[in-house]
Structure 1
Amino acid sequence: MLRKNHLTMAVSAALGLGSAAILPSVASAQEQLVEEVIVTGSRIQKANLVAASPVTQVDAEEFKFQGTARVEDLMKNLPQVYSNQNSSTANGATGTATLNLRNLGDARTLVLVNGRRLPAGSPLQGGTGADINQIPASLISRVEVLTGGASATYGSDAVAGVVNFVMQDDFEGVQFDYQFSQYQHDNDNGFLQQVVGDAGFPFPDGSNSGGDIQNWSLIMGGNFDNGRGNVTAYATYREVDALLQSSRDYSACALNNTGDGCFGSGTSPKGTFIVGEDVFRVEGDQFVAGPEVYNYGPLNHFQRPDERYTGGAFGRFQINEHVETYGEISFMDNQTNAQIAPSGAFGLSPSIACDNPFLSDQQIDILCTSQGLGADDTRDVVVLRRNVEGGPRNQDLRHTTFRGVFGFRGDINETWRYDVYGLYSEVSMENTYNNDLSNTKVLNALDAVVDPDTGDITCASVLDGSDTNCVPWNIWETGGVDPAAAEYMTLPLFARGTTDQKVFSGYLAGSLGDYGIKLPSANNGVEVVVGAEYRKESLNFNPDEGFRLGLGAGQGGATLPVSGSYDVTEYFMEASIPLVEDAAFAQEVTLDLGYRYSDYSTDQTTDTYGIRGGWAINDGVKLRASYQRAVRAANIRELFAAQGLNLFDMDEDPCAGTNPTASAAACARTGVTADQYGSIIDSFAGQYNFLQGGNPDVAPEESDTYSVGFIWSPEFVEALTVSVDWYSIEIEQGISNLGPEFILNECLGGNDALCENVQRGPLGDLWLGSDVNTSGKVVALLDNLAVEEIEGWDVVADYSASLGDMGSLSISNTLSIITKWDQQELSTAPVEDCKGNWGGSCGFPTPDLRNQMRVTWMTPWDVTASAMWRHISKVTDLNGNLDLPDQNYLDLAGNWAVQENTTVRLGINNVLDREPPIAGNAAGPSINGNGNTFPGLYDALGRYMYLGLTVSF
């Protein structure tokens, strides 16, 4: 995989960077070309090959070998990277694609393009991470991943690390690229097919192909004015077809937590009616004891449909020997659709008139007569009824992004250089939610009466004039729903919003050795950078009245507006001090220092700093170590979001059911009365209410990152480079809310201070209704609470060898081992070991070992063949149900240079069609799961096949 940028290649090889190999035949020539470069994590230019911070690199060739249609699909395969929001997210989708280093959260991962920030991806909740959809894969030169704190260099958010996308900005010529890709899976899981079939649900069998993805890109560029300037322009188009969960046998039903039965929902087409302590469903026009289980999974998207346009340009022009101006303009329009199961009445409690004309005699007897109620009386009934007549809900999400950079850089003289730029980014979001129902209209439609003038059944609201459009909803009889009723109750919901970012930044860098400032033991002098930066972040999220008032039946509560901004003024410096050079056992010893002071408009100030050291014993052995203090200031939603209800997943309410698992005394602490104990109806979908909200007084979270490592390039094995790095990240005052399940369990266990956060509803439940004041819920607001500590090892090895007349072979391996991943909900809480675990308070899986190895054969026949092995270790279920077995994937790819300017590529990822590990219903949207598994970690859709063509002029 020969790179065009020889300078970067030589540096990368010496650092032990992944996903790149150097041919022995060209290594010596490239080493002679080394000159000063900037590597992610510092602004100091260096000609030495000792990097004090470990950086993993992915080159453009890797995007080709993976057949990358979406940048997140390749990035999530890196052992250090996880994915929360991605193309497989349906329920809870923001329409963005985010990166999450070390599984510490996307808000703690700073994403850069050419060393400068990307904006928050969406004004939607959970959309605060940068949206990498806006990055065109065809224009990426390389990606540099620095894990661990980097706030002293880049400011807030770089707690888990930095992902820097370096783009082609000096292209010459015209390049057209097209790729078609598709997923295919053999549905042959006999066990799960039987599980689904035994539940009475359909399932797919045999081969299924679909989820087609088409990518077009055009790049044009050229130099002008005798090479003093260059403009590189690009345009891309991507079209993605939907895949439903019904297309895979392992997602054909929502499995239970043990994976041996279908879970489903009690909000069903036959309805679930809770009358006192009794539960009924409708068969014909009769009440029958017990609920029906509705299979809500098959209609959910496993891959969202998507249409994306991007375009932009990179330009530079050398005005004179001291001034070069540069600019970047990028645009993205991305529209996607997230589909989930139909809406319905999710636990509404209407008062049903005993003379409701839709009720049969048997139903009237159960509801009224048996209770001594007459025709003029009413009976409160909890109704859970699925609106299958109205079709699935779908959320149409559109994000339009503009980003512009303009700056000046150059050399003042031989000693000093500068870089000053301004950046503006804006993300505009349109969110249209279709096919939800209005709770108000549902209640109107259930209040059916006989029109005394016509004898027709109508709504009481029609007769009293309060809603003359109402159509009565007959859910008391199989097949009794008038399609007009479903149409009447439908409530479209709309939300609009923007995020925007302004950055003004500049620095001055100098070589103080020109003034004689150097140590006697070194040949080179001290390098320094001093600079300042101003950044303003704004967010405006404006939902319509239906969202704000919580009128949408399937929303789980009100969606409230958020509007706010903050700005920060920062001053920073870096210094690189050569301590020893050209000495015995010390070819080079360098000390790097960094400091940044930040003053936020929220009355918060922070100091971040770092110290890094590199020691080249000789050409073959290099040591490095670093310490970084990093911070993350609260984002706008964390500061200013209003309080509102949301949903969390839990196996069961310990105080619900006829035989609660918690004692009466323990449940009493959570608000359960003696009469309610043993008679509380539990959630049929394993989802419960919690109250969330922002906190304007929340302080920045802090982290300490340590790393120690070495780079080994043995003389006796030519073209082998191995780097080994140990790291430790400890986060304190983490901005978080206590887990609702944690709060409940703490209260049950005797923590009375948290019992006030458990607020049960009128029936003793924690799930019915969506009214923030009256519904049962757990209060879990944001604060500086969490403590997280992670330790592990990263091992990267690169090797290349000549095969003589048979070409050459390169091997690149990246291994990540986690030895500690501890978290505490708050500093006084028990430590939860999340290493190699998932579920409970740990949520998303954290495998303790991930490995990626690529072997590439560069043949003498204009063909490059490559194979990749990906390994993810076993993950244990903390709930004791479904452990996730280790996974091994094999990817095969080939590139054929048909002509000098034409290349064809094809490949298959997950060649053996490995199914994803099954996690069941516990892999819900609240922990970024979908389809009974975790698409952000595993290959969830089967084989991925692609065919691409690149033509250059």
Structure 2
Amino acid sequence: MFKKNKISLMVSAACLLSPFANAQESTAPTADSATNVEKVQVTGSRIKRTDMEGPVPVAVITSADIAATGSINVSDILKTQPVTISTNNTSSTTFSTSSVGVNNTALRNLGESRTLVLVNGRRYVSGLSPSVGYAVDLNSIPAPMIERIEILKSASSAVYGSDAVAGVINIILKDDFEGVELNSQVGMSEEGDSERHLFNVTAGGAWDSGNAWVSAGFDNSQGIRASDREFSKNDIAVLLDENGEEYYGNVFSSYPPQGRVGGYNGDGTPFTYSSDPENSDGFNRGSYRQLVTPLERKYAAAGARYELSDAASLFTEVQWNSTSTKDSTIEPYPFDMNDIWIPDRGGVGGLDVNSPLLPELLRNNLINDGVTNLNQVPWVRRMVEFGARSTDLSRDTVRIAAGVDFEINDDWALDTYITWGRTQQSQENGGQINLERARYALDVVEGPNGELQCADDIARLQGCVPFDVFGAGTISDEAVNYLKVPAKTFGEVEQLVISAVLTGELPLELEGGYSGVAFGIEYRDEKGAYSPGDLAQTGASSTNQSSPTNGEFDTLDVFAELSLPLLETLTLDLAARYSDHSIVDGQFTWNVGVEYRPMETLMLRASAATAVRTPNISDLFGGRGETFAVVADPCNGVTASDTSVVAQNCLSIAGVMQRVEENGSFTLSQVEAQSAGGTIGGNINVTEETSDSWSLGLVYEITDNFSVTMDYYNFEIDDAIDTTSRSVVLQRCFNQSPDTFDASCGGAALRNAGGVLTEVHSGTSNENILKTSGIDLELDYTQDLSFGTLKAGLIWNHISKYEQIGIFDGSVLDYKGEASNPEHRAAINLDLSTGDVAYSWRMRYWHDVVDSTEGENFNFSSFGGLEKHNNISAQIYHDVSSSIMVSDHMEVRVGVNNVFDKQPPLLGQGTKHGGTGINTYSAAYDVVGRYYYAGVSYTF
């Protein structure tokens, strides 16, 4: 009922406003037609104005800029901008299940959910599974369809609503096209892989009362195997040599294909671990992994505008995109065999040492060690016979927008629209095992002819055969067929927006002119659902156990903007919005901007704003799921002589103290350091986060062909919604006074009898404050030469602060200078056009950084924090391209990215920013290497 009332109110408001469309006169004075200047709407305000520059900073990427990069994906384009970062991409998500292949972006590195992505100034539906987050998947907006991208580098919730905390990315599509244009592009890395193909056709036409266009195409990237690059072909981590010096070496998995039972291989021989592949019984996971996920996209879009009358026009937009990943693989499943009986840790069961499955050598060795049941020792195996864990995934996004724009008179207009979007995600994961059947297949007896068979009669009738896991290649094809299980999941996100905005000029004339104003009302409904499959929900398969997600909320917003030209040189902009959210109730946000022009060539500007991000479906309703991301135990390395607060708390734990007494310190083995499981998920009690931000800047045209833009920005986000790192959960817990310390961290941490972490849980909460500030600088230079025109541009960002503060304990984590927050990022562009030929050179700079400023990493020898290999040197990438107009209808483009084949810095296991399986940080560093491309455009 509440939702219906909101929709009724929305429609009623639009109806109340619409009669103004019939008005023939305005109460405001009308300027002489000879002095009328075209007004445009610039991202950051709904008020149309004559000046492209306003009180808030906006950067523009044109279609020509996009073409010069050779990028076929919006994510790759935005990655070159110093103010944006690629939070998820086709490298960083290779080890993911539900997010594989996704491309997201974020402003100021404040998270993709705090960056509002618009298409043609209107909201766009999320492309993420509702179980893991909320963000637009940039795969669904192909680059050939883009006219330009406007980046609003300031909070703007008062103008655009929730989520515009860090700023707004407004993607403007081509919508006024006449004729036919064909685009084709091919590319390949110097290594002969990462092949990419693109084909697109766009056609459009206009007539007296309107225009229409349609665009369709496909592109694909074949991806890269991790084994095809030297830096990613092996699992690596920082080790210590005999002198205690750090070096990068191979780290093989202790879950081998032949199985490991205690200190023995599955056949009973001693298990030997070494970083030398020739002398190690460990397993190289890199041989199965993807460095870049293969991705295929098909898309179509269409739009039309039709003049209903002299005062009204109808527009429609339709976008469809289908993205799929095929044969995206990671290593076969690492199976803890005891989980067949003990899925909840601490139950009873296990395989008796006298089982006929055990080889005689293994049985004798275990009995000599006092082992009577395999649940007394680690019993693990890599299930290579079941094949790689594969992810075949498809995402289909449909978005429809339609509306009527009314020109009430020369000064007033009413824009109304409705948008609906839906993303459906379906996937099938291979390489999984049915745990219930595995229990029957391990319970074997000797048959009538001396052969082994399943003990349970009914299980045999259902196809049960012995599950022989003791040795390499011992699992039969029949056992694989009996035990393998498909892991199918399905997710859906849906969005509905209805909006009406009245814009115009007030009849009040100030010294600088008439005041611009905008009033609006907007209704938005969001819903999402995710089903991980029956066996995954019950924990009956070897995949991570997870719960379903299902939720919905809606908001009703009213907002207003006012632009006051107080003087010819001074303008004051005001905006306010009230949002009524069905879960977290109401929020009020505002913007204030000042624009001062002391001279024609200089503009000074300042802005301040409150912004809000209300919790999304994932934050509120995300089902809890298992995670095994590396956790840094603050007790690792503690000795009896340590007197710190953390050490005192650690030593109060019986298992930790016992190991310290026995060994002199609480030092974890590699397996122990990697074995802390746990869960993360949503929280219905999460409330909105709020942001206070301000900026000061200037735009100075030094000469007719040289301009400078500089802005200082400052953001503070209170009650920040986030899934706090499980390592941070532990840090905050163990930094408390021993008088109030809780060894279970409020139920978030579980240790075994030996003091080793087995589970650490986290979830969505409002427990952080985020602070960041810095400077943006842009230089633009144009020079006409005797043989052409030279354009040069510099974009530079400096981070002066990036802090995460714990609300409850006041702890301050300073992340400035980490790999994701370099103090300096820059891009330099040089373009030279000489008639029909154009040349371009682009440079991207990422300052020297550290992997972690707060010790959230470790080496794999002593498990102490990284020192030498915590430091990462500055990286510079160079791209060149050229285009030539072969004829009036044909343009040919060629280019080379990463001209000097710059290899990425190593960030292996145990690092904070190293991506699983890729051994670097792909949001910052190129993983492809030197890359060649060529394309052609033909119009007629």
Using structure 1 for the length normalisation, give the TM-score. 0.86
- Structure 2 vs 1, CA of residues 357 and 46 (structure 1 numbering), >3 Å: closer, same or farther? same
Following superposition, the deviation at residue 827 of structure 1 comes to 5.1
Asked whether the equivalents of residues 132 and 622 of structure 2 are also in contact (C-alpha less than 8 Å), the reply is no
Q: 2:622 aligns with which of 641, 653, 674?
A: 641
Q: 1:816 aligns with which of 790, 793, 797?
A: 797
- Structure 2 vs 1, CA of residues 737 and 334 (structure 1 numbering), >3 Å: closer, same or farther? closer
Following superposition, the deviation at residue 382 of structure 1 comes to 2.7
Looking at structure 2, the residues matched to 409 and 113 of structure 1 have their Cα atoms a distance apart, in angstroms, of: 17
Looking at structure 2, the residues matched to 71 and 671 of structure 1 have their Cα atoms a distance apart, in angstroms, of: 53
Asked whether the equivalents of residues 516 and 563 of structure 2 are also in contact (C-alpha less than 8 Å), the reply is yes
Deviation track 1:610-667 (CA, whole Å, cap 9, x = no partner) reads: 1001111222111010001000000011111233332222356735999999998633
Q: 2:429 aligns with which of 427, 430, 433?
A: 433
Three-state SS of the structure 2 residue aligned to 1:211 is: coil
Following superposition, the deviation at residue 915 of structure 1 comes to 0.5
Match of 2:464 in 1: 470
1:868 aligns with 2:842: yes
Looking at structure 1, the residues matched to 386 and 725 of structure 2 have their Cα atoms a distance apart, in angstroms, of: 35
Match of 2:358 in 1: 359
Following superposition, the deviation at residue 436 of structure 1 comes to 1.9
Match of 1:217 in 2: 200
Match of 2:605 in 1: 624
Looking at structure 2, the residues matched to 640 and 343 of structure 1 have their Cα atoms a distance apart, in angstroms, of: 29
Following superposition, the deviation at residue 738 of structure 1 comes to 3.2
Looking at structure 2, the residues matched to 49 and 328 of structure 1 have their Cα atoms a distance apart, in angstroms, of: 25
Q: 1:549 aligns with which of 522, 538, 548?
A: 538
Match of 2:774 in 1: 792
Match of 2:103 in 1: 97
- Structure 2 vs 1, CA of residues 929 and 381 (structure 1 numbering), >3 Å: closer, same or farther? closer
Match of 2:454 in 1: 459
Following superposition, the deviation at residue 446 of structure 1 comes to 3.3
Amino acid at match of 1:779: H
Q: 1:945 aligns with which of 898, 916, 932?
A: 932
- Structure 2 vs 1, CA of residues 748 and 33 (structure 1 numbering), >3 Å: closer, same or farther? same
Match of 1:75 in 2: 78
Q: 2:546 aligns with which of 559, 570, 577?
A: 559
1:598 aligns with 2:579: yes
Written as runs of structure 1 = structure 2, the 5 A alignment for 1:47-196 is: 47-88=50-91, 89-92=93-96, 93-184=99-190
Looking at structure 1, the residues matched to 298 and 654 of structure 2 have their Cα atoms a distance apart, in angstroms, of: 53
Using structure 2 for the length normalisation, give the TM-score. 0.87
1:745 aligns with 2:748: no
Amino acid at match of 1:281: N
Three-state SS of the structure 1 residue aligned to 2:728 is: helix
Amino acid at match of 2:313: E
Following superposition, the deviation at residue 728 of structure 1 comes to 0.4
Identity of aligned residues (%): 28
Looking at structure 2, the residues matched to 84 and 49 of structure 1 have their Cα atoms a distance apart, in angstroms, of: 30
Asked whether the equivalents of residues 527 and 575 of structure 1 are also in contact (C-alpha less than 8 Å), the reply is yes
Deviation track 1:887-922 (CA, whole Å, cap 9, x = no partner) reads: 001100000111110000010010000001111113
Following superposition, the deviation at residue 369 of structure 1 comes to 5.4
Looking at structure 2, the residues matched to 928 and 37 of structure 1 have their Cα atoms a distance apart, in angstroms, of: 43
- Structure 2 vs 1, CA of residues 826 and 552 (structure 1 numbering), >3 Å: closer, same or farther? farther
Deviation track 1:575-602 (CA, whole Å, cap 9, x = no partner) reads: 0000111xxxxxx211000000000111
- Structure 2 vs 1, CA of residues 144 and 378 (structure 1 numbering), >3 Å: closer, same or farther? closer
Q: Which moved more, 1:406-415 or 1:786-795?
A: 406-415
Looking at structure 2, the residues matched to 750 and 669 of structure 1 have their Cα atoms a distance apart, in angstroms, of: 13
Deviation track 1:216-243 (CA, whole Å, cap 9, x = no partner) reads: 100000002x2x2010100010122131
Three-state SS of the structure 1 residue aligned to 2:479 is: helix
Looking at structure 1, the residues matched to 488 and 540 of structure 2 have their Cα atoms a distance apart, in angstroms, of: 12
Asked whether the equivalents of residues 131 and 549 of structure 2 are also in contact (C-alpha less than 8 Å), the reply is no
Deviation track 1:646-694 (CA, whole Å, cap 9, x = no partner) reads: 2222356735999999998633556736656669765367353233222
Match of 2:253 in 1: 265
- Structure 2 vs 1, CA of residues 501 and 725 (structure 1 numbering), >3 Å: closer, same or farther? same
Looking at structure 2, the residues matched to 593 and 95 of structure 1 have their Cα atoms a distance apart, in angstroms, of: 40
- Structure 2 vs 1, CA of residues 359 and 159 (structure 1 numbering), >3 Å: closer, same or farther? same
Q: 2:298 aligns with which of 309, 328, 338?
A: 309
Deviation track 1:798-851 (CA, whole Å, cap 9, x = no partner) reads: 1111111x111001111111111111243533211111114xxxxxx2111110
Match of 1:10 in 2: none
Match of 2:671 in 1: 683
Match of 1:693 in 2: 681
Looking at structure 1, the residues matched to 608 and 185 of structure 2 have their Cα atoms a distance apart, in angstroms, of: 44
Looking at structure 2, the residues matched to 128 and 888 of structure 1 have their Cα atoms a distance apart, in angstroms, of: 32
Following superposition, the deviation at residue 255 of structure 1 comes to 1.0
- Structure 2 vs 1, CA of residues 285 and 484 (structure 1 numbering), >3 Å: closer, same or farther? farther
- Structure 2 vs 1, CA of residues 372 and 76 (structure 1 numbering), >3 Å: closer, same or farther? closer
Three-state SS of the structure 1 residue aligned to 2:159 is: helix
Looking at structure 2, the residues matched to 335 and 60 of structure 1 have their Cα atoms a distance apart, in angstroms, of: 26
Looking at structure 2, the residues matched to 498 and 319 of structure 1 have their Cα atoms a distance apart, in angstroms, of: 36
- Structure 2 vs 1, CA of residues 930 and 873 (structure 1 numbering), >3 Å: closer, same or farther? farther
Deviation track 1:333-392 (CA, whole Å, cap 9, x = no partner) reads: 11114311111313635622232223233322232355385xxx7764432210122221
Asked whether the equivalents of residues 259 and 471 of structure 2 are also in contact (C-alpha less than 8 Å), the reply is no
Asked whether the equivalents of residues 321 and 410 of structure 1 are also in contact (C-alpha less than 8 Å), the reply is no
1:254 aligns with 2:249: no
1:281 aligns with 2:276: no
Match of 1:203 in 2: none
Q: Which moved more, 1:532-541 or 1:78-87?
A: 78-87
1:858 aligns with 2:829: no
Q: 1:569 aligns with which of 551, 556, 573?
A: 556
Q: Which runs of 5+ in 2 are unaligned?
A: 1-34, 240-246, 274-279, 342-349, 661-665, 856-865
1:496 aligns with 2:490: yes
Deviation track 1:783-809 (CA, whole Å, cap 9, x = no partner) reads: 2111111000110111111111x1110
1:704 aligns with 2:692: yes
Asked whether the equivalents of residues 342 and 388 of structure 1 are also in contact (C-alpha less than 8 Å), the reply is yes
Looking at structure 2, the residues matched to 668 and 659 of structure 1 have their Cα atoms a distance apart, in angstroms, of: 8
Q: 2:650 aligns with which of 667, 671, 691?
A: 667
Match of 1:719 in 2: 705
Looking at structure 1, the residues matched to 159 and 648 of structure 2 have their Cα atoms a distance apart, in angstroms, of: 54
- Structure 2 vs 1, CA of residues 445 and 885 (structure 1 numbering), >3 Å: closer, same or farther? farther
Looking at structure 2, the residues matched to 182 and 33 of structure 1 have their Cα atoms a distance apart, in angstroms, of: 51
Asked whether the equivalents of residues 266 and 685 of structure 1 are also in contact (C-alpha less than 8 Å), the reply is no
- Structure 2 vs 1, CA of residues 464 and 156 (structure 1 numbering), >3 Å: closer, same or farther? same
Q: Which moved more, 1:132-141 or 1:544-553?
A: 544-553
Amino acid at match of 1:853: I
Question: Considering only aligned residues, what root-mean-square deviation do their CA atoms show, in Å?
Answer: 2.5
Asked whether the equivalents of residues 670 and 755 of structure 1 are also in contact (C-alpha less than 8 Å), the reply is no
Looking at structure 2, the residues matched to 527 and 271 of structure 1 have their Cα atoms a distance apart, in angstroms, of: 73
- Structure 2 vs 1, CA of residues 868 and 370 (structure 1 numbering), >3 Å: closer, same or farther? closer
Q: Which moved more, 1:695-704 or 1:635-644?
A: 635-644
Match of 2:863 in 1: none
Following superposition, the deviation at residue 704 of structure 1 comes to 0.9
Match of 1:895 in 2: 883
Asked whether the equivalents of residues 653 and 682 of structure 1 are also in contact (C-alpha less than 8 Å), the reply is no
Q: Which moved more, 1:392-401 or 1:624-633?
A: 392-401
Amino acid at match of 2:826: N
Match of 2:24 in 1: none
Amino acid at match of 2:509: K
Amino acid at match of 2:890: T
Looking at structure 2, the residues matched to 789 and 924 of structure 1 have their Cα atoms a distance apart, in angstroms, of: 20
Deviation track 1:136-174 (CA, whole Å, cap 9, x = no partner) reads: 211111000012211001000011110000111000000
Looking at structure 2, the residues matched to 876 and 679 of structure 1 have their Cα atoms a distance apart, in angstroms, of: 25
Looking at structure 2, the residues matched to 379 and 634 of structure 1 have their Cα atoms a distance apart, in angstroms, of: 43
Asked whether the equivalents of residues 286 and 917 of structure 2 are also in contact (C-alpha less than 8 Å), the reply is no
Asked whether the equivalents of residues 712 and 721 of structure 1 are also in contact (C-alpha less than 8 Å), the reply is yes
1:240 aligns with 2:234: no
Q: Which runs of 5+ in 1 are unaligned?
A: 1-31, 185-207, 582-587, 768-775, 839-844
